[in-house]
């Protein structure tokens, strides 16, 4: 079972690129972020024609998340994180796909920091940590996937000294991410490649991709019941090098179907 996350950076502009990647990679599940499209403008017909069922949470001009499932329809669990009734940003969506709970997210950037945007980022992370506890308490197999806008360690960034004051790399951000992992989540890529520099994002400026001046901010976290099924992970770097690309590359994992817990998970069983 291949599960991927891809910050598409505008699905209207990148739809051909998305469809090409779906045809090539054929992920069983794909979590998309930064749709930058209102709910009614999402190209559901084109994605369904490519063989994917889809649910999405759009927002005009900004944000937006979606979950795609090959050959089946994701069963939605919910959208949005509890804890802030005033938060109207489209950043979180949950579904059950083939008995696995998929939590797709687009965590706030938080810049400039310090400031209100950074405060929002940290409060959003606290709400995510709470949701993580709830999901793990179910014992269900869960994948939490998306653009976390978190650079976990120095190994995950080109020239870390240049990022010290950035919201993605500030100590408060990394500490909150560490507390999330401490609940029992497995960072898939880092677990399989503990000492390698692996990036998932390269800025459009200063030939960042050509220089491989990137950062790793797209993560796929596995619940304890699902971690033993992890057998491969990677980044489809070539997608970033194509014409008119997103500034992110698709990031993916492969799970051994034989090691995925057999217990059937229904949407109503996930609180």
248 is known to lie in a ligand binding site: yes
Identify the bridge partners of residue 76 per DSSP, sorted by sequence position.
95
Looking at residue 185, what is its pLDDT? Answer: 98
- Name the active-site residue from 28, 106, 187, 219: 106
Is 248 known to be catalytic? yes
Helix (H, G, I), strand (E, B), or coil: what is residue 214?
Answer: coil
Is 204 known to be catalytic? no
CA nearest 174: which of 213, 133, 215, 144? 215
247 is known to lie in a ligand binding site: yes
Looking at residue 262, what is its pLDDT? Answer: 75
149 is known to lie in a ligand binding site: yes
Looking at residue 267, what is its pLDDT? Answer: 62
Architecture of domain 2-255: 4-Layer Sandwich (3.60)
Is 147 known to be catalytic? yes
The stretches in the chain having pLDDT less than 70 are 263-269, 271
* Length of the chain in terms of residues written: 271
Cβ burial of 258 (10 Å; 0-12, 13-18, 19+) is exposed
Cβ burial of 10 (10 Å; 0-12, 13-18, 19+) is middle
218 is known to lie in a ligand binding site: no
d(CA 9, CA 218) in angstroms, rounded, equals 13
- Name the active-site residue from 52, 57, 166, 248: 248
Model confidence over 134-145: pLDDT tens digits? 999 999 999 999
């Amino acid at each position: 079972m291949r599960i991927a996350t891809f910050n598409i950076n505008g699905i209207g502009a990148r739809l051909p690129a998305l469809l090409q990647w779906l045809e090539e990679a054929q992920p069983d599940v794909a979590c998309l972020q930064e749709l930058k499209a209102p709910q009614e403008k999402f190209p559901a017909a084109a994605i369904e024609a490519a063989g994917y069922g889809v649910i999405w949470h759009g927002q005009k001009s900004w944000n937006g998340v979606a979950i795609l499932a090959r050959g089946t329809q994701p069963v939605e669990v919910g959208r949005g994180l509890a804890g802030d009734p005033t938060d109207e940003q489209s950043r979180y969506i949950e579904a059950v796909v083939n008995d696995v709970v998929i939590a797709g997210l687009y965590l706030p950037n938080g810049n400039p920091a310090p400031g209100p945007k950074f405060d929002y980022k940290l409060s959003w992370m606290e709400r995510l940590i709470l949701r993580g506890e709830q999901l793990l308490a179910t014992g269900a197999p869960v994948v939490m996937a998306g653009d976390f806008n978190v650079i976990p360690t120095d190994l995950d960034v080109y020239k870390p000294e240049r990022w010290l004051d950035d919201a993605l790399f500030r100590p408060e951000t990394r500490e909150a991410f560490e507390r999330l992992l401490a609940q029992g989540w497995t960072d898939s890529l880092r677990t399989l490649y503990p000492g390698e520099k692996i990036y998932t994002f390269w800025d459009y400026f200063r030939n960042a991709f050509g220089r491989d001046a990137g950062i790793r901010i797209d993560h796929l976290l596995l619940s304890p019941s699902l971690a033993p099924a992890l057998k491969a992970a990677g980044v489809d770097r070539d997608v970033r090098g194509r014409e008119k690309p997103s500034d992110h590359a698709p990031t993916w994992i492969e799970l051994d179907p034989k090691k995925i817990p057999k217990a059937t998970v229904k949407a109503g069983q996930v609180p």
